[in-house]
A and B are shown apart, each in its own frame.
Chain A
Amino acid sequence: MLLLKIIQKLIATLNSDGTPGQVAAGIALGSAFGLTPFASLHNLVIFGAVFLFNVSFPAAMLGWVIFAPVGFLLDPLFDTIGRMLLVDSPNLVPMWTALYNMPVVPLSNYNNTVVLGSFLGWVVLFVPIFFFARWGVGAYRQHVLPRLEKMKFIRAMKASKLYNVYQWFQAE
């Protein structure tokens, strides 16, 4: 039931709840869960941010779902980026050494090539994801949603008992 609730909330979010900016920020923050290894300290911080900032929580979940496969696909690239920074950049070694010997920081696993590479990848992609998602949500609400509602199939659906099921996903 919890899953259904989340899906219902998600559709409601896309359709009407929250501004496109709130939804886009949720997707951009949630993409961190998908792009970077999930069991990392920074994801706990981002999770707190999703809670505390006035962004869409279901959108963050959507961002996670969308970007999880992307993260898997980009892992070799993230590994290369992390290796470049951690292994092949002698000038950065003093900084990494200082961070490695600080309290708490090593718990973030920043010294793993995939974690560092994917985190930096997410930081770089955060703004493009945000703007793209904001544009996407606006376009969906302006162009796709009215058409969907006019489609015979959807109207037939609305008329059928199946619509009752769809109604589960409507905003409260």
Chain B
Amino acid sequence: MRIFRWKAAIPLGLFLTLAGVGWIFFVDTAVERAIEAIGTAIVGAKVELEEVDVQFRNGSVVLRGLQVTDPDAPMTNLVEVAEMVAQVRMLPLLEKKIYIDTVAMRGVKFGTERASSGAIEKPPDPEAGAMRQRIDAWAERVPIPEFSLAGLSGTVDVAAIRPESLQTPRVAQGIVGAADSARQAWASQLEAINPRPVIDSAQAFVNSLEGASLRSLGLRGVPRAISTLRSTITGITQTRDALTQLESSVTGGVADLRQRVSSLAEARAADLASARNLLKIPSLSAPDIAPALFGQAALGRVQRLLYWAKMADRYLPPGLDPRRRQGPDRIRLSGTTIEFPGRRSLPGFTIGVAEIDLQLDTTASTGGSYRAEITDLTSSPSVLGRPMRISAARTEASSGPEAIEFAAVLDHVTASVRDSVGLSLTGVALPSITLPGLGVRIDFGRGVNELTFVRTGDSVTGRLLWSSSQVSWDRGSLGGGRVNEIVWRALSSVRSVDVEVRISGSIDGPSIAVRSSVARDISRSLQRELRNEVAAAERRIRAEVERLVEQPIADARAQVSLAETSVQGLIAQHRQRLDDVRAQLETRVGELRRLLPFSYQYQLSTSVVSPSGQPSGNR
């Protein structure tokens, strides 16, 4: 029987040839479907293409009519590209890798309307969801002071400050409890050591040897007595060591308690601030006013910035560790697909240089021609070994800003990620913001919008700036009354405003500082005209808070002192008595040794004496 069925080779060859020819005929459609499917999965909304033309001879791929739906607005395109020409290397395709040397795009438009909705049923993205949750949780922890002038308009009702709403009494009560527990624990330990019987027994023994002689003790009795004295001294030393250890523990514990007592000052300051907020007494200091007015607006932008910084990590992961993603959609189980980037190979996806010519809507404020360049965009920066660079600038303005510049370097080559982003927009329309607590709306008009953001490893620094000299004000929901009128006068005369937000710290929880010229103007006006009212209200609040926290603080201090003095005093007494009796024991040892003949003294100094009084061996 033959193993091979040679006559089947021709049909098989024909079949494979037909399959190959079919693939060439349908490759355009296959690539189109693949780009649409992958793009849709990445964006989370429909990505559509009108036409794809793959030319194997020169390795070019032409995409026409690309529409990427805005996932947050399914009837709008995030971006629409009339034509995109990519020069693709053919050999890496055999490794299932896409290496695009150059990409040129023309007819790029943003925010165009769609004929049909581009929404899709999105499968939940647990990683992005968790990332957003972490950033939201951080944002909730960022303290943004409240700014309200309501308290200055009426009488300050200090009765509204309830003792249970203050944290100082709670903290003080905690200290009292801790001090009491510690005192009891130390007393128990002292009782366990119990030095009194040791002292009394040693004292009795010393007294019994008062006036002892060789005759009264005998030649064997003297070494025995010396041995007993030495054992007693050892016992005394051990008891003293235990006391020293306890004393050290007491000293440490008392230091902790005193530290907690010191923290009461912070709690008291927080209570004072909280009481001021409760009674709507604003701080008149500019550093407090700026975060109150612009903190929320700044926080929203910083949240987005952090989200994208984290997303950059996700899509441009540093290092060469295997990466997992869900397997392809199919009737069978998808499984997990793992990528294994290798140092001496090509990344899974790379664009060498992408040159983009944008022509934005001429009626919009950002209308004009732009030129952008992206180099070394890759899915594995560590494999490529070069950071990704993006730059964009306006080449011709039809309206709106005078200058737009953007540059970014995302260096994810090593584990210590280094990202830097710089954006400068001059003459751009800035946002309108309603100032919290006042209800006044500020329209920045056109001005300068700058952003710098640097990430090195896990630490970030950044600066956001809005600056305008064409500010207009809308009274909004600002009420009447003297105080509000002062504020309105202060604000409505201001034409030039800058708001600066500084970010620094860990990427997981940076701190934010907000400064603004508006805050300085408001602060100056309010201090000029309302200083006395605010000072009087503050005095009343301070007095009330002091009254409510005074006793708990005193109790806490007293309890800590009691814990310290009661135990430490006893320890000192016991130690003094132990030292005294030990000195007496050592004196007795000396006296008894002198009673013995020289040969016995020598043996005693080099041997351990058995209870029978005979030297029993070398030490």
A-side interface residues toward B, CB under 8 Å?
19, 37, 39, 48, 51-54, 71-72, 75-76, 78-79, 82-83, 86-87, 93, 96-104, 106-107, 109, 111-115, 117
Contacts and interface: CB of A to CB of B under 8 A. Distances in A.
B159 interface: no
B324 A71 contact: no
Contacts of B12: 48, 51-52
Interface in B322-358: 322, 324, 327-328, 330, 332-342, 344-346
A3 B360 CA distance: 58
Contact of A104 (B5, B94, B324, B328): B94
7 interchain residue pairs of minimum CB distance: A114-B335, A101-B345, A75-B333, A106-B96, A100-B340, A113-B335, A97-B340
Interface of B: 1-5, 8-9, 11-12, 15-16, 91, 94-97, 322, 324, 327-328, 330, 332-342, 344-346
A91 B333 CA distance: 26
A112 B335 contact: yes
Given A52-B9, A53-B4, A109 B337 contact: yes
Given A52-B12, A54-B5, A101-B345, A76 B339 contact: no
B5 A52 contact: yes
B95 A79 contact: no
Which of B96, B330, B339 has most chain A Cβ within 10 Å? B96
Given A19-B1, A52-B8, A114-B327, A98 B342 contact: yes
B340 A54 contact: no
Given A37-B330, A101-B95, A106-B96, A113 B8 contact: no
Given A83-B336, A98-B342, A100-B339, 10 more contacts: A51-B8, A53-B4, A82-B335, A86-B336, A97-B340, A100-B341, A101-B344, A104-B95, A111-B338, A112-B335
A111 B340 contact: yes
Contacts of A93: 322, 340
A100 B338 CA distance: 10
A75 to B, nearest CB: 4
Which of A54, A112, A115 has most chain B Cβ within 10 Å? A112
Contact of B4 (A54, A79, A113): A54
A114 B4 contact: no
A107 B155 CA distance: 78
A76 B333 contact: yes
Given A51-B5, A100-B340, A107 B96 contact: yes
B218 to A, nearest CB: 79
Contacts of A79: 333, 335-336
Given A75-B332, A112-B337, A103 B4 contact: no
Consensus secondary structure, chain B interface: loop
Contact of B332 (A19, A52, A114): A114
Contacts of A104: 94-95
A97 B342 CA distance: 6
B334 A114 contact: yes
Contacts of B342: 97-98, 100-101
30 contacts: A51-B12, A51-B15, A52-B9, A53-B3, A54-B5, A78-B333, A78-B335, A79-B333, A82-B335, A82-B336, A87-B338, A96-B322, A96-B340, A97-B342, A98-B342, A100-B339, A101-B342, A101-B346, A104-B95, A106-B95, A107-B94, A107-B96, A109-B337, A111-B338, A112-B337, A112-B338, A113-B336, A113-B337, A114-B333, A114-B335
A156 to B, nearest CB: 38
A78 B332 CA distance: 11
Which of A82, A100, A104 has most chain B Cβ within 10 Å? A100
Contacts of A114: 327, 332-335
B96 A54 contact: no
Contacts of B8: 51-52
Contacts of B334: 114
Nearest to B4: A52
B5 A53 contact: yes
Contacts of B2: 54
A106 to B, nearest CB: 4
A101 B340 contact: yes
Nearest to A96: B340
A117 B339 CA distance: 16
Contacts of B344: 101
A37 to B, nearest CB: 5
A115 B324 contact: no
Which of A39, A54, A102 has most chain B Cβ within 10 Å? A54
A5 to B, nearest CB: 15
Nearest to A118: B332
